[in-house]
Amino acid sequence: MSKSNAVLNEFYSQQNDLARKSYFTQLKYDKDMPLQLKDDKKRPTPLYFRYSPEGIKARHDAISLISVYGNRLLVLAGTDSPQRISDSAGSIVSRYQGLPAAFGGLSGDEAAAKKVYIENTQKLVSAVTKMYYEKQQSDALLSAINEGHSAVDAILKTLQADILSLSATHQARTNSQLSNLVYIYNEDVDARKAKSSQTFSESQRLDLLNQAQNTAALYEGTVINQPDDVVAAMIQANDDLYAFAQNPKGENSLIALNAAIESFNAKIQPFVDYYLASKGDN
């Protein structure tokens, strides 16, 4: 779960930054373009983009909570000592108790699904709390999985729809940015052919070429590496874990769970490689 958490956190963290880069590229080469917080239709410009810092943090914390849930299940499954189950419970659980309220404070487009987030983060916080405080390991494991499964499923499916929408917006912006860079560069080529004095310097020309190359690679990456596939793998992993919980002592059940975990890791590894590499490039 930690790998998928890293991918999705990096995806959300990139969104405002990528939109701002596109916006400032246009400002850099279009001297008549004003710098605005909102456009003429009162919509936030890419200086703000779709999600506020509070909205991004709430989603970060929801993904992190799911990761904590998954990790505690694995600890419980391999723990014989009830004392180990309750270690550090207060400090970890308290971190997420305010998460439903954080979603409740969102407004505008980013709050469209906040009721789903509020209801199911409440359920998941309850499930994780139970995982820490139940006295019997088996009871804590089964109860937490049963209580948390539907909540995790609802949160992940909402995140998946969220990411699909963001991916489409990001691809459109990236494609538009690439088209703008091509237009600006070719305008300069035409000006040079006409021997106009209004041309870019050599450093500006090379800067444009570098930005066009990076933007083309970014567009390709966003098409190939859409992280909603990571969420789909997380949904499947949640279902596999739930199936294991229904019969944890069944024949080959542990083998099947380990195989499912290996399959999950294999599915998300390409996304881990891409998004962590992208983070290093930014």
The per-residue pLDDT for range 253-276, each reduced to its tens digit, is 777 777 777 777 777 777 667 666
* Residue that has been written with the tokens 């098409």 in this structure: 223
| Cβ count near 123 (within 10 Å) | 19
User: How far apart (Å, rounded) are the C-alpha atoms in residues 205 and 188?
Assistant: 8
The reported pLDDT for the residue numbered 79 is 46
Average pLDDT over residues 229-250: 79
Lowest mean pLDDT among 73-87, 120-134, 151-165, 215-229: 73-87
The reported pLDDT for the residue numbered 85 is 46
What residues contact residue 50 under an 8 Å CB cut-off, 6+ apart? 15, 44, 109, 110, 166, 169
Average pLDDT over residues 70-75: 73
Q: pLDDT tens for residues 142-176?
A: 777 788 889 999 999 998 888 888 778 778 878 88
Where in the chain are the domains? Answer: 2-281
Confidence of residue 49 (pLDDT cuts 50, 70, 90): low
Average pLDDT over residues 195-216: 85
Average pLDDT over residues 72-97: 62
User: How far apart (Å, rounded) are the C-alpha atoms in residues 30 and 24?
Assistant: 10
Percent of the chain with pLDDT over 70: 83
